[in-house]
């Protein structure tokens, strides 16, 4: 990321029919692009414009749903353009967010079983596992090294969506250290709930069971979407993740995974989490040094 700067050209504005404004901040994924998306989304949300129905920040673009009977399209566009212009003229604002530790059972039997059902015609290397393939295409020694790289540096939730509560994750490392893995050749019709997946430069956690095309590395131990809102982390809302959350994966053993299941059944499980302030300039200047600082917030929680 040392070669990147936080300066981006102006966004591209285009309409999704008569109810959606689409603002493409950048064609390519980058931390500055995502940060700008979140900044625009945050400001637009604070503006409480009547007629805005949904503000959906994505990786490098923003989708706004509006009611044209209340808010004429040209008014919305000029409001968003004003926000964009204002952001370019001012110092960035830090993002007040949180860091969350997400326990993951890597190389678990659930995703292994499903992967077995979708090899020939679905996967690039049907004879090996998804992690073996991911290690190979990233020029890493073996699965263990890939897993190490996957969890030792934190990730930013760059978007929530596709299905209810699914976080897209962008690892906070230099571009040359980003893990990149092609999606399956053809999407699976099944993916276990809570699969930790990866496609292109993005990680994700599948919130519900269903179709999917990302490579599967493991399974997150605790829910991230809880319509019954049984656990304390879901008291306010059934979806756990928000764009801007920072995720630190923590590898767990089968025994630790089972202990977490017991806590979930007892209703006592809580994610380890702590508030942090995220500053783009620091993350760009020295990602791993800044990550150490961010991860310290989890100590003693």
Partner 1 sequence: MAFEIGNPGLATTVQDQGRAGHYNVGIPQSGSMDQYSAELGNALVGNTAREAVLECTYLGPVLTTDSDAVIVVTGAPVEVKVNGEPRPQWSRLPLKAGDQLSFGVIQGGTRYYIAVQGGIDVPEVLGSRSTYSLGGIGGFKGRKLEAGDVVPVGTPLNGGQLPQAETVPEEFRPVYAKEQEVRIVLGLYDHRLTEEGLGSLLNEEWKVTPVADRMGLRYSGPGVKWREREQPFGAGSDPSNIVDAGYAVGSIQIPGGTQPIILHRDAVSGGGYAMVGTVISADMDLVARAAPGTATRFVAVSLADALDARREMAGRRDKAWAALGANR
Question: Rounded to a whole number, what is the distance in angstroms from the first to the last CA of the chain?
Answer: 30
**The one among 126, 128, 200, 251 contacting partner 1 by CB under 8 A:** 200
**Cα–Cα nearest to 41, from 60, 69, 17:** 60
Shorter beta-carbon distance to partner 1: residue 124 or 148: 124
Shorter beta-carbon distance to partner 1: residue 207 or 215: 207
Number of residues that bind partner 1 (CB under 8 A): 55
**Cα–Cα nearest to 142, from 155, 133, 152:** 133
Residues facing residue 52 across a β-bridge = 66
Shorter beta-carbon distance to partner 1: residue 103 or 243: 243
Identify residues 64-83 at the interface with partner 1 (CB under 8 A): 65, 68-69, 73
Separation CA 190–CA 210 (nearest Å): 5
Identify residues 156-175 at the interface with partner 1 (CB under 8 A): 159-166, 168, 175
**The one among 58, 179, 181, 220 contacting partner 1 by CB under 8 A:** 58
Q: Cα 141 to the chain's mean position, in Å? A: 26
Separation CA 222–CA 147 (nearest Å): 19
Task: Report which secondary-structure segment, H or E, holds 165.
Answer: none
Binding status of residue 238 toward partner 1 by CB under 8 A: yes
**The one among 177, 183, 250, 282 contacting partner 1 by CB under 8 A:** 183
Query: CB 105: neighbour CB atoms within 10 A?
Result: 22
Contact in structure between 250 and 101 (CB atoms under 8 Å) = yes
Shorter beta-carbon distance to partner 1: residue 40 or 295: 40
Binding status of residue 16 toward partner 1 by CB under 8 A: yes
Exposure on the CB side of residue 32, measured as CA atoms within 13 A: 23
Q: Report in angstroms how near the CB of residue 67 gets to partner 1 at its nearest.
A: 9
Identify residues 81-110 at the interface with partner 1 (CB under 8 A): none
Strand, helix or coil for residue 35: helix
Q: Which stretch binds partner 1 (CB under 8 A): 51-59, 125-133, 253-261, 266-274?
A: 51-59
Identify residues 20-49 at the interface with partner 1 (CB under 8 A): 20, 22, 24, 26-30
Separation CA 231–CA 236 (nearest Å): 10
Q: Cα 228 to the chain's mean position, in Å? A: 23
Binding status of residue 250 toward partner 1 by CB under 8 A: no
Binding status of residue 215 toward partner 1 by CB under 8 A: no
Q: Report in angstroms how near the CB of residue 243 gets to partner 1 at its nearest.
A: 8
Shorter beta-carbon distance to partner 1: residue 11 or 143: 11
Residues with Cβ within 8 Å of residue 144, at least 6 apart in sequence: none
Output 143-146 pairs: Cβ under 8 A, ≥24 positions apart. Answer: 143/107, 146/179, 146/217
Q: Which stretch binds partner 1 (CB under 8 A): 90-98, 200-208, 247-255, 282-290?
A: 200-208
Identify residues 266-285 at the interface with partner 1 (CB under 8 A): none
Binding status of residue 54 toward partner 1 by CB under 8 A: yes
Strand, helix or coil for residue 1: coil
Give the interface with partner 1 as residue ranges (CB under 8 A): 14-20, 22, 24, 26-30, 53-63, 65, 68-69, 73, 159-166, 168, 175, 182-183, 199-202, 207-208, 210, 225, 227, 238-239, 241-243
């Amino acid at each position: 990321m040392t070669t990147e700067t936080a300066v981006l050209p102006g966004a591209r504005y285009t309409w999704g029919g008569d109810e959606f404004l689409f603002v493409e901040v950048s064609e390519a994924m980058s931390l500055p692009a995502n940060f700008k998306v979140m900044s625009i989304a945050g400001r637009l949300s604070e503006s409480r414009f009547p007629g805005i129905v949904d503000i959906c920040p994505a990786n490098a673009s923003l989708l706004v749903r509006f009611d044209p009977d209340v808010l004429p399209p040209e008014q919305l566009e000029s409001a968003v353009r004003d926000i964009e212009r204002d952001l370019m003229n001012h110092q960035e604002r830090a993002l007040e967010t949180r860091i969350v530790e997400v326990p993951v059972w890597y190389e678990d039997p659930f995703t292994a079983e499903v992967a077995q059902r979708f090899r020939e015609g679905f996967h690039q290397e049907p004879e090996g596992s998804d992690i073996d393939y991911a290690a190979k295409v990233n020029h890493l020694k073996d699965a263990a090294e890939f897993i190490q790289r996957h969890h030792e540096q934190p990730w930013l939730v760059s978007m929530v969506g596709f299905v209810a509560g699914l976080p897209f994750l962008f690892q906070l490392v230099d571009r040359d250290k980003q893990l990149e893995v092609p999606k399956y050749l053809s999407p699976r019709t099944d993916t276990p709930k809570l699969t930790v997946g990866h496609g292109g430069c993005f990680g994700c956690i599948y919130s519900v069971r269903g179709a999917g095309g990302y490579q599967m590395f493991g399974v997150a131990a605790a829910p991230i979407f809880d319509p019954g809102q049984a656990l304390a982390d879901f008291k306010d809302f059934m979806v756990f993740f928000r764009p801007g959350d920072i995720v630190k994966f923590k590898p767990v053993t089968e025994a630790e995974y089972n202990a977490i299941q017991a806590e979930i059944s007892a209703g006592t499980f809580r994610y380890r989490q702590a508030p942090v302030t995220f500053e783009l300039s620091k993350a760009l200047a020295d990602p791993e040094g800044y990550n150490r600082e961010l991860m310290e917030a989890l100590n003693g929680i």
